[in-house]
Amino acid sequence: MQTKISYLSDLKFNLETWKRELRFHFNEMDTFEEKLEEIASREFGKSATIPLENFQNRIMIEKDVISKLMHRCKRKMQKIHVADYSEEIDGRLQNEQHTLREDMKTYIRMHYELKEEMMKYFLEYL
pLDDT of amino acid 108: 97
Does residue 21 have a pLDDT over 60?
Answer: yes
Query: Domain span at residue 121?
Result: 2-125
Residues 6+ apart with CB under 8 A from 118: 32, 55
pLDDT of amino acid 8: 76
The overall pTM is greater than 0.75: yes
Task: Report the distance separating Cα 107 and Cα 119, nearest Å.
Answer: 18
Does residue 86 have a pLDDT over 70?
Answer: no
Q: What is the domain count for the chain?
A: 1
Q: Where are any strands of DSSP class E within the chain?
A: none
Give the relative orientation of helices 46-81 and 92-125 as an angle to the nearest 10 degrees.
160
Each residue of 29-76: pLDDT tens digit? 999 999 999 999 998 888 999 999 999 999 999 999 999 999 999 999
